[in-house]
């Protein structure tokens, strides 16, 4: 996949060494010119030259949308940006048996994961456990976290007993949908 640099100018607003947001100027349009139009796509530039030999910028992949980035408060008032792809990989590699999921940031330190599955108890328990492991590796950035699941309406059904500072609280019994809220503190 290449940028059409023969018909448009692509300025690159870099987020890191390989990820960038394209700003496009297209001179081929006559009815409605596009001048310095900033897309909210996050593109990942290929690190090696494309085997096809094209001189245009080659892309590894389209990462997502800029407004899809999860932003958490960091130390000293800074911000920690997390690409949802990292958490989506954790989810995808955690369990089979779910048809769909949606991850939303519902607060500065809270994520909400909605799963659709026939075996939501088993799937949500596995995914919750993997998410705990993922966030445990981020303890230098997030000092405390709490993971719990809720049914579609958000009302608590059943809470697992026990609880320590970084505990998992699982709430089950929704018929097919479960929402896992991941709260970071």
Q: Does residue 133 have a pLDDT over 50?
A: yes
User: Is 3 a member of any domain?
Assistant: no
Note whether 168 and 183 are within 8 A (CB). Answer: no
From the number of C-beta atoms within 10 Å of its C-beta (0-12, 13-18, 19+), residue 125 rates as: buried
Final residue in a domain of this structure, among 18, 39, 68: 68
Residues 56 and 108 occupy one common structural domain: no
43-77, pLDDT tens digit by residue? 999 988 888 999 999 999 888 776 677 777 777 77
Instruction: Kindly report the average pLDDT of the chain as a whole number.
Output: 70
In the prediction, which pLDDT does 58 show? 93
Residues 59 and 74 occupy one common structural domain: no
State which residues form the domain around 103. Answer: 70-184
Residues 157 and 180 occupy one common structural domain: yes
DSSP string, the chain: -B--TTTEEEEEEESSSSEEEEEEEESS-SSS-EEEEE--EEEEE-SS--TT---SPBEEEEEEEGGG-EEEE-GGG-EEEE-HHHHHHHHHHH-S-EEEEEEEEEETTEEEEEEEETTHHHHHHHHHHHHHHHHHTTTTT---EEEEEE-TT-------S---TT-EE-----SSEEEEEEEE-
Residues 44 and 74 occupy one common structural domain: no
Residues 84 and 152 occupy one common structural domain: yes
Residues 61 and 113 occupy one common structural domain: no
User: Is 14 a member of any domain?
Assistant: yes
Q: Which residues lie closer than 8 Å to 141 by C-beta, 6 or more apart? A: 72, 74, 75, 80
User: Is 130 a member of any domain?
Assistant: yes
Please provide residue 67's backbone torsions phi and psi, each rounded to the nearest 5 degrees.
-75, 0
Note whether 106 and 181 are within 8 A (CB). Answer: yes
In the prediction, which pLDDT does 26 show? 92
Residues 52 and 109 occupy one common structural domain: no
Tell me which of 111 and 152 has the higher pLDDT.
111
């Amino acid at each position: 996949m290449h940028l059409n640099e023969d018909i448009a100018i692509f300025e690159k607003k870099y987020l890191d060494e390989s990820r960038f947001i394209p700003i496009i100027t297209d001179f081929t349009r006559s009815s409605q010119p596009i001048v310095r139009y900033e897309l909210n796509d996050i593109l990942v530039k290929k690190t090696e030259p494309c085997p096809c030999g094209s001189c245009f910028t080659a892309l590894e992949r389209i990462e997502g949308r800029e407004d899809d980035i999860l932003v958490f408060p960091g130390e000293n008032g800074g911000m920690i940006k997390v690409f949802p792809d990292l958490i989506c990989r954790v989810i995808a590699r955690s369990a089979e048996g779910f048809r769909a999921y949606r991850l939303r940031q519902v607060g500065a330190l809270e994520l909400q994961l909605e799963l659709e599955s026939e075996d939501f108890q088993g799937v949500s328990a596995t995914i919750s456990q993997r998410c705990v492991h993922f966030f445990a590796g981020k303890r230098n950035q997030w000092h405390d976290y709490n993971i719990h699941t809720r049914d579609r309406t958000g009302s608590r059904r059943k809470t697992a007993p026990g609880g320590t500072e970084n505990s998992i609280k699982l709430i089950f019994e929704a018929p097919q949908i479960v929402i896992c809220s991941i709260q970071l503190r």
